[in-house]
Amino acid sequence: MTDNIVEIDNLSFGYKGRLLHKGINMSFPRGKIVAIMGGSGSGKTTILRLIGGQLKPVKGEVRVGDKVVHEQGRNDLQKLRRKMGMLFQMGALFTDLSVYENVAFPMREHTSLPETMIRDLVMMKLNAVGLRGARDLMATELSGGMARRVALARAVALDPEIIMYDEPFAGLDPISMGVICNLIRNLNDALGATSLVVTHDVKEAFSFVDYVYFVADGVVAAEGTPAELRESTLPFVHQFVHGEVDGPVPFHYAAPDYRRDMLRGRDV
C-alpha cells in the first residue's frame, strides 16, 4: 500500500483553451503537512479544487487513496469528499449561525448522530481550537483570528484524513498567524491526517510544514523541505523565498517600449 494518500500524476488543466497546469506531478504522504506555494494566479487553489473533484483535468489524474477522482460518480465522489476537510479562504462561516451551529453543521449534514453526541463532539472541536467559551457567539461577532479558528474546528468536525487549507493566514495579525500555524501542526498530528496548505506566506509556512511544492508557469518549478528551499539557488525560488523585487518574476507586465508607447499618436 502506498504511503501517499493523494497523488497527482501528469496533470494538465486550463480554462478556455489556456493551460494553467502543464503536466504537474505531486505526492502527499500520509501524516505530513505539505505546502503548495507560488505567485498569485499560479493555480494553487485550483489544485485543491481538482483534488476535491470540483474540476476535471484536461489530462492526467488525481488519485485519493486508490480512487481516481474525476472517474467517480456523484455518490462515490460524495463518499470520497467525506474523507476531506476544507478551510476556505477567509473562513467562509455561515454568518447567520452561531459558532456552535457552524461546527455542528457538517455533523448534522453527513451523519445520523444523536444531538447529545453532536454536542460532545462540537465542544471537543471548539476546545481544541481554544474557543469552547465562544460557542454562543454569532459568526459576525468574531475577530478575524477567531473566525479562522472556528472554521478550522468545522473543517476537522468529521475527523478527515485529508485537510485542505486555502490561504489560512490571509488578513491575520502576527499573533493569530502563530496560533493558526500551531493549530494546523497540532491537529494534523493528533488526527493522523494529511494537510495540504495553499499559501504565499513563506515565513509562516516554513515554520511548520514538512515539504513544499513551488508552482510557476504551469509546472512544479521546485520542491523540497523548507531547509532545502531556503538554500536554493534557483532564481525563482530565491526571489520568492526572500521577497526580492528583481528576479524572474518581473514588476512590469509585458508592454511595448515605454517611450514609444507614450509618444504614440503624437508628432515626434
User: Cβ distance 229 to 222 under 8 Å?
Assistant: yes
Distance, CA of 69 to CA of 98 (rounded, Å): 33
Q: Which residues contact 77 (CB under 8 A, 6 or more apart)?
A: 53, 69
pLDDT on residue 256: 75
- 160-190 tens-digit pLDDT: 999 999 988 887 888 888 888 888 898 899 8
25, burial (CB in 10 Å: exposed 0-12, middle 13-18, buried 19+): middle
pTM: 0.82
Residues written for the chain: 268
- Residue 61: phi, psi to the nearest 5? -155, 160
How would residue 1 be classed by pLDDT, with cut points 50, 70 and 90?
A: very low
Nearest to 195 by CA among 87, 92, 107, 90: 87
DSSP state of 253: P
Residue with cell 511548520: 208
User: What is the residue type of 68?
Assistant: V
User: Cβ distance 136 to 171 under 8 Å?
Assistant: no
CA distances to 23, 151, 204 from 19, rounded to whole Å, are: 10, 32, 30
* CATH code, residues 4-263: 3.40.50.300
> Is 268 a residue whose pLDDT tops 60?
no
CA distances to 43, 46, 160, 218 from 70, rounded to whole Å, are: 18, 14, 20, 20
Classify strands 162-166 and 219-224 as parallel, antiparallel or unpaired.
unpaired
User: What is the residue type of 159?
Assistant: D
How would residue 228 be classed by pLDDT, with cut points 50, 70 and 90?
A: confident
User: Cβ distance 179 to 204 under 8 Å?
Assistant: no
- Tell how far CA 127 is from the center of its chain: 23
Which of 49-58, 83-92, 119-128 bottoms out in mean pLDDT, i.e. has the lowest? Answer: 83-92
Distance, CA of 120 to CA of 63 (rounded, Å): 34
How would residue 235 be classed by pLDDT, with cut points 50, 70 and 90?
A: low
